[in-house]
Structure 1
Amino acid sequence: MIWSLLVVMAVGLLGVSAYVMLDLWLKPLDEAARAKAPGAFISARAGLLHYTWDGPADGPVVVMVHGFSTPHFIFEQNVAALTDQGYRVLRFDHFGRGWSDRPIARYDADFYDEALLNLLDGLSLTGPVGLVGLSMGGPIVAEFAARHPQRVNRVLLFVPAGLDVAGLTGFAARLLNVPGLGDLMWRAIGRSVLLNDPQYNERGEPPENRLAGNVSTQMEYRGYLDALLATMRNMPMSNRAETYRRLAQTGIPVAAIFGKDDPTVLPASVDKLAAYIPEAQIHLLENADHGLNYKRHRAANPLLAAFFDPHS
């Protein structure tokens, strides 16, 4: 009995030591690190949010909300489709991503909703804005519009999560949900799992169709993997029918763009969203995967521009 207890204690000590060591190899996201960031920062309840503006200062505002793991530079190829029409485009990094702070938090729907609300209030954007949500940003903007319909005038969804989504399932997913063990596993393998995501396969893509930033830079700072794990545990990526139905009830115009070859947000999501929001404009792009907003921006941008056409 004593030997068994000693073995358990030794294994636990090794696990804690490994968990701490994996964190010590990373850099703090401090003031010196943030000095490298473009744009600006604003204080929200949970910390500092990093954001950038594009377009005319007096233009109507569209806010672009990125997804699970890639910061706001994922929208770089889409900005001109809006600014060329006179819009002022606001992009920001979610907490835990990019140059934004990495607070210890629950990272659930309430957390993301509050962060977006803090951003708009902090920038004195009290009138209705357009929202563009990508992947996980889809249910975030849908939930925000459903909760605060007076703050939103249009919603466009790029490959929105919350519908028919492939992801980590089975035994591995259950292990990640185990406190302690899951945290250690994710710190050990999370970086390689993310960098091997099919979305980041840009082989054969010309430079203009590739991500406009390095996704691994944010991984060099403490708190990134922890924020993603907290999101996986608390922010459902599937079965968000109620969120989209509540968005439909607001009457806010909605459009969505899906990829026929998307291995993450599966094409079956098209029919589900059409059932939840019958009035939505829905497009399914051929030869397009989960990174269609930048890899297939020549096909996606005309749809984005047409939906936000100020003359329509």
Structure 2
Amino acid sequence: MKYFVAPGEDRKLTADSREALRGSFIELSDGVTHYELTGPGDGDVVLMAGGLTIPLSYWDGLVSELHARGLRTLTYSAYGRGYSDRVPARYDETLFTRQLAELTDRLGLTDGPLHLVGTSMGALVSMTYAAHHRSSVSTLTIVGPAGLAKPRLASPDRLLRSDLLAGVVARRRGLQLLQGHLGHNVRDPELGAKLTEMVLDAFRFEGSLYAVFDTLQHLPLAGRDDLFRRTGALGIPTLLLWGDEDNVTPLVHFDTARALLKPQKDHVINKCGHMAPFERPRDVADQLVPFLSARTQRLDS
């Protein structure tokens, strides 16, 4: 799909516009990435990969919980999300995995234990990263993953295969579709409003809707059973978490994920929607921290 600027995208991401923003920025081979590496300097690093639309601030509640329990965290915004560059490239797993690999390498995190957490679309990116960098991943935590729905004629990557159609839909109805999607992610309306404000603020920057719709074109979010199966065969200690009221990646896929991933531990969080790290950070930390604490060695140690 050809790069475009949608109506309402009235800002540009530049060095000047980033000066007022929190966090750090690093130039990688495809563009600038917004990240935060924070927490106790001697703590194991927990690296978090987010979903289709979310910026790094999505993780703030979980980050606070993990810091209080002695862990260091690396959060970042994928290209096209938050305040990372909107790159004129194909938004697929190759791009997102390369971003993750370059970020950890440039920050000098590839030699120590690395605990990888992926939610929704970020779970697919995390699994792909783990396959390519298996020896550096101490644990893998998958939260409400995309990818287990059966492919349908109405699947986004099928509907949007035509660049012309994808461009028209994105320009004319992209923002409306995005707002509708965000409304299904969390149970609590107050948290839903906070989530929407967080995401839409970043979507005022040029190229944001292009990035999302190009991702929907080129990163399949259904029919990924084989990726789950291959991940389960890697031998990486895995934790599977899911919200019991997830309306985006429904709990009906939980048993399939468990059978394919063969996790060492799995847990369903009660009264929780699709975004467990955002909605229930303490509950996620309660499951995550003991799991990580028992597994602090790299697989090549």
Question: For the structure 1 residues 139 and 301, does the alpha-carbon distance in structure 2 shift closer, same or farther, using more than 3 Å as the test?
Answer: same
Q: Tell me how far apart the structure 1 counterparts of residues 104 and 157 of structure 2 sit (CA, whole Å).
A: 35
Pair 1:131-2:82 in alignment: no
Alignment of 1:72-221 (within 5 A): 72-127=56-111, 128-164=113-149, 170=154, 174-197=158-181, 198-199=183-184, 203-205=188-190, 211=195, 214-221=198-205
Question: For the structure 1 residues 26 and 184, does the alpha-carbon distance in structure 2 shift closer, same or farther, using more than 3 Å as the test?
Answer: farther
Amino acid of the structure 2 residue aligned with 1:111: L
Specify which of 232, 237, 250 is matched with residue 253 of structure 1: 237
Q: Tell me how far apart the structure 2 counterparts of residues 132 and 21 of structure 1 sit (CA, whole Å).
A: 32
Shift of 1:46: 0.4
Pair 1:237-2:221 in alignment: yes
1:263-307 Cα offsets, whole Å, 9 max, x none, are 111112211111112243111222221122222334322112222
274-283 vs 57-66, which moves further? 274-283
Shift of 1:24: 8.0
1:46-102 Cα offsets, whole Å, 9 max, x none, are 001010122112322111111100111111111133222322100000000111001
Are the counterparts in 2 of residues 261 and 289 from structure 1 also a CA contact under 8 Å?
yes
TM-score (norm 1): 0.85
291-300 vs 213-222, which moves further? 291-300
- Amino-acid identity (%): 29
Q: Tell me how far apart the structure 2 counterparts of residues 257 and 213 of structure 1 sit (CA, whole Å).
A: 26
Specify which of 37, 40, 44 is matched with residue 53 of structure 1: 37
Gaps of 5+ in 1: 1-15
Amino acid of the structure 1 residue aligned with 2:97: D
Name the SS for the 2:240 alignment partner: strand
Question: For the structure 1 residues 210 and 182, does the alpha-carbon distance in structure 2 shift closer, same or farther, using more than 3 Å as the test?
Answer: closer
Shift of 1:165: 7.4
1:192-233 Cα offsets, whole Å, 9 max, x none, are 2111223456655479x9549621111101111111111101
Query: RMSD between aligned alpha carbons?
Result: 2.8
Alignment of 1:24-63 (within 5 A): 26-63=10-47
Q: Tell me how far apart the structure 1 counterparts of residues 25 and 289 of structure 2 sit (CA, whole Å).
A: 28
Are the counterparts in 2 of residues 210 and 295 from structure 1 also a CA contact under 8 Å?
no
Are the counterparts in 1 of residues 156 and 217 from structure 2 also a CA contact under 8 Å?
no
Gaps of 5+ in 2: 297-301
1:1-52 Cα offsets, whole Å, 9 max, x none, are xxxxxxxxxxxxxxx9xx9784585222112221122111111110010101
Q: Tell me how far apart the structure 2 counterparts of residues 241 and 157 of structure 1 sit (CA, whole Å).
A: 14
Q: Tell me how far apart the structure 1 counterparts of residues 10 and 83 of structure 2 sit (CA, whole Å).
A: 14
> Which of structures 1 and 2 has the bigger CA Rg?
1
1:104-149 Cα offsets, whole Å, 9 max, x none, are 1111111111110010111111224110101111111111111111
